């Protein structure tokens, strides 16, 4: 759609988008979906940190000295930010952390896909999956989650309850 200045209906799309982004019910639903997704994603990693460490090692991007730290800290960060979104505590901080994590996940997955490096995503389990199909679907899923997280982050109502 081309936006032309001077006509009354030109900013209708902008107003509709603004209304959608400021819809508190939609933001609440998205917040809960992202929260439950991160809680669910953390469980297998918390239960089996050694298996998750092997997956991180398979990325071929991190020094061996920090792989175990990542394998232990990341799942608890996912769990705590997910719980924060569900319970409505520090929503903006949790959403910012989730947005950063998702952006990094997208960058890491894309980098390894571009270089043709075969690895297992490890997003929700330690079960091996089809490499290229799983990576492409993981990137697509992460883009959708990032869009939702940014919507929650930039929604003016998301932190009102706790800003007083």
Q: What mean pLDDT is predicted for residues 47-71?
A: 92
pLDDT digits (tens, 9 = 90+) for 28-41: 999 999 999 999 99
How far, in Å, are 5, 11, 59, 97 from residue 34 at the CA level?
A: 38, 31, 24, 12
Give the per-residue pLDDT at 18: 65
**pLDDT tier at 138, thresholds 50, 70, 90:** confident
Mean pLDDT of the chain: 82
Based on its alpha-carbon atoms, the radius of gyration of the chain, rounded to whole angstroms, reads 19
Q: What mean pLDDT is predicted for residues 134-161?
A: 81
Question: Tokens representing 139?
Answer: 């990137």
Residues making up the chain, counted from first to last:
164
Whole-model pTM: value is 0.79
Give the per-residue pLDDT at 156: 56
How far, in Å, are 75, 89, 110 from residue 81 at the CA level?
A: 10, 9, 24
Residue 45 · residue 74 · CB < 8 Å: yes
Q: What mean pLDDT is predicted for residues 44-71?
A: 92
Q: CA nearest 26: which of 155, 143, 146? A: 155
Give the per-residue pLDDT at 8: 54
Instruction: Say whether pLDDT at 20 is over 80.
Output: no
């Amino acid at each position: 759609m081309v936006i032309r200045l001077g006509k009354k209906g030109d900013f209708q799309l902008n107003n509709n988008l603004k209304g959608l982004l400021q819809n508190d019910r939609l933001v609440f639903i998205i917040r809960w979906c992202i929260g439950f997704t991160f809680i669910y994603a953390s469980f297998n990693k918390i239960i089996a940190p050694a298996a998750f460490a092997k997956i991180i090692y398979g990325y071929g991007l991190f020094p061996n000295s920090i792989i175990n730290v990542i394998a232990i800290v990341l799942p608890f960060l996912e769990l705590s930010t997910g719980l924060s979104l569900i319970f409505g505590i520090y929503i903006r901080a949790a959403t910012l952390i989730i947005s950063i994590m998702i952006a990094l996940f997208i960058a890491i997955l894309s980098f390894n896909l571009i270089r043709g490096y075969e690895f297992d995503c490890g997003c929700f389990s330690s079960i091996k999956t089809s490499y290229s199909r799983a990576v492409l679907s993981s990137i697509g899923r992460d883009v959708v989650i990032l869009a939702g997280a940014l919507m929650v982050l930039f929604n003016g109502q998301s932190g009102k309850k706790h800003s007083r």
